[in-house]
Amino acid sequence: MSFADAVTLAPFIAAVLAAAAIILVDFALPGRKVPALATAFIGLAITALLVAVTGQSGATAFNGSYRVDALTTFLDVLFIAIAALTIAYAPDYLEERGLPVAEFSAVLVFAMSGAMLIAGSADLLVLFLGLELMVIPGYVLAGYHKTDGFSTEGAIKYFLLGSFSSAIFLFGLAFVWGLTGTTRIDGVSSVLTQIVAGKAALSPALGMGLAFLTTGVAFKIAAVPFHYWTPDAYQGSPTPVTGYLSVGPKIGAFALIIRLFASALGPLAVEWNIVIIVLAALTMTLGNLVALTQDNVKRMLAYSSIAHTGYMLVGFAAFGAGKLEGLEGLLYYGAAYAFMNLGAFGVIAAIQKRPGVTSNLSTFAGLMRREPALGILMALFLLSLTGIPPTAGFFGKFYVILAAVQAGGWVTALALLAVLNAAVAAFYYLRVVVYMFMREPDAEIPVIRHGRLVWVGLAVSTVLTLALGLFPGILLELVNTAAKAIG
């Protein structure tokens, strides 16, 4: 690796070194959470600074296998924010259950480094390496509460199905590599452009490769019908982990979709966009309908997460139909969803600080009178997830639906279906609000003191959820620049 390569990869290297530093600090000062957390936040801050310094430079590393552009920078900052908020929410919950905070932070930062590698990938093999570096720590985090049977069960299901999907995805990459003769994203795009122009034939084997790739990424984003691992993995995982799994790997997988489908397979957009439209319709509809029947808020948010995957696919379908605004809407929605959903899980983690407290609806009864601050914040995040203005969730839905309407054809029908699904989702989100404000608890639940980090995390999530709703232009300029790196 040359010095120029090291400079280009500086944020990724810093993330890996930050994770290693957390482990070393914990080894030197075992059981001391403050030094480990300080190391984690300092490491994330240094990584963010390096992202800002190297951002949009257009530099490449390893002969073009990795590149830095506006999209890489946007996604890297988002991944760092997700990791920082998750670490802020975790200590209170983990310490009460005797789970080590330092190991959690290190594994999470390793997972973040994998997502960052995906964001800058310009080669199919690097893309796959980044994917595995992101998801393997996710398996560990899902089963982090080793003495909890539900956590172990969810982790096993996640690991087995995740391994199968990774193998399927790798088969697809092998087909594309073998039939195009290159692993470079721009090289694959060039070969496929010749096929579309009629200079070469589209072989059945290449079509099979596309099918394998689509199946693999559909699992990673929990699209229907590849979503079965999601409810059990989310419900069984420690609540801070559930919050991370609902946004981190999902946005990382969408980064993979953008790099692979929008860039490498862009010339075949007409073919793969049909599948995206079907997946979007099935995913948001089934996710919302099943969420209606849930009495456990974590499981409800798991199916809600599936539905939000469908909304983001609406934006990608609009992009596949030729509208760059669709990709802008997808990126905006991803950022908005990350902050409001992490905020909701942050509240749940705070409520569940005391071991034995469930996430059933009955637990939220009377929360407004018991802990008014948490009740107000949870209501805000749920309203944003519903899409009520002036929150970030409203503008996220607005931009993807507007792009779908502008795209025309079946994508416009998808926009109408998204509006109907948003109306359905309002029922189960607002039901939690009703319980918090208008129901009496079945039994008296003592008020618990929450750590400062929890309140800092909730404050950041709240400010961003409101700021992106009141001043959407702040993020629109960034997503516009990021989308143009692809379009």
**CA–CA distance from 404 to each of 151, 306, 313, 408, 484 (Å)?**
38, 19, 10, 7, 18
What residues pair up with 187 in beta bridges, in sequence order? Answer: none
Instruction: Tell which residue, 185, 73, 115, has the closest CA to residue 485.
Output: 73
Block residue for tokens 């909890």: 148
**CA–CA distance from 128 to each of 64, 67, 155, 214, 265 (Å)?**
16, 15, 21, 14, 16
CA torsion angle 478 479 485 487 (round to 10): -150
Q: pLDDT for 53-110, tens place per residue?
A: 887 667 888 888 888 889 999 999 999 999 999 999 999 888 888 889 999 999 999 9
pLDDT tier for residue 443 given thresholds of 50, 70 and 90: low
- Residue 107: predicted pLDDT: 94
- Residue 487: predicted pLDDT: 58
pLDDT tier for residue 199 given thresholds of 50, 70 and 90: low
Q: pLDDT for 333-352, tens place per residue?
A: 999 999 999 999 999 999 88
Q: At what angle do helices 124-142 and 185-196 cross, to 10 degrees?
A: 120
Q: pLDDT for 105-124, tens place per residue?
A: 999 999 999 999 999 898 99
SS3 414: helix
- Residues 6 or more apart from 171 whose CB is under 8 A from it? 209, 212
Q: At what angle do helices 124-142 and 101-119 cross, to 10 degrees?
A: 160
What residues pair up with 296 in beta bridges, in sequence order? Answer: 360
CA 299 – CA 175 distance, rounded (Å): 37
Q: What is the per-residue DSSP string for 29-93? A: STT-HHHHHHHHHHHHHHHHHHHHHHTT---EETTTTEE--HHHHHHHHHHHHHHHHHHHHHHHH
Average pLDDT over residues 288-306: 90
Q: pLDDT for 218-248, tens place per residue?
A: 888 888 888 778 887 888 888 899 999 999 9
CA 193 – CA 186 distance, rounded (Å): 10
Q: pLDDT for 128-150, tens place per residue?
A: 999 999 999 999 998 888 877 77
- Residue 57: predicted pLDDT: 64
| Beta-carbon count within 10 A of 203 CB | 12
Check pLDDT > 80 for residue 193: yes
Q: Which amino acid is at 133?
A: L
SS3 122: coil
Pairing status of strand 66-67 against strand 60-61:
antiparallel
The angle formed by the CA atoms of residues 282, 359 and 32, to the nearest 5 degrees, is 115
The 3 state secondary structure assigned to 248-290 is HHHHHHHHHHHHHHHHHCHHHHHHHHHHHHHHHHHHHHHHHHH
Token readout for 453 is 């980090």
CA 13 – CA 103 distance, rounded (Å): 19
Average pLDDT over residues 7-36: 91
- Residue 202: predicted pLDDT: 66
pLDDT tier for residue 1 given thresholds of 50, 70 and 90: low
CA 61 – CA 276 distance, rounded (Å): 32
Instruction: Tell which residue, 192, 189, 122, 481, has the closest CA to residue 324.
Output: 481
In the chain, % of residues over pLDDT 90: 51
- Residues 6 or more apart from 374 whose CB is under 8 A from it? 347, 350, 351, 367
CA 143 – CA 154 distance, rounded (Å): 7
- Residue 44: predicted pLDDT: 96
CA 336 – CA 461 distance, rounded (Å): 10
CA 377 – CA 371 distance, rounded (Å): 10
SS3 113: helix
Side-chain-side CA neighbours of 412 within 13 Å: the count stands at: 5
- Asked if 414 contacts 280 with a C-beta cutoff of 8 angstroms, the reply is yes
Check pLDDT > 80 for residue 201: no
**CA–CA distance from 440 to each of 177, 378, 435, 443 (Å)?**
60, 17, 8, 9
> Where is pLDDT greater, at 388 or 485?
388
- Residue 231: predicted pLDDT: 82
**CA–CA distance from 261 to each of 448, 462, 475 (Å)?**
48, 33, 24
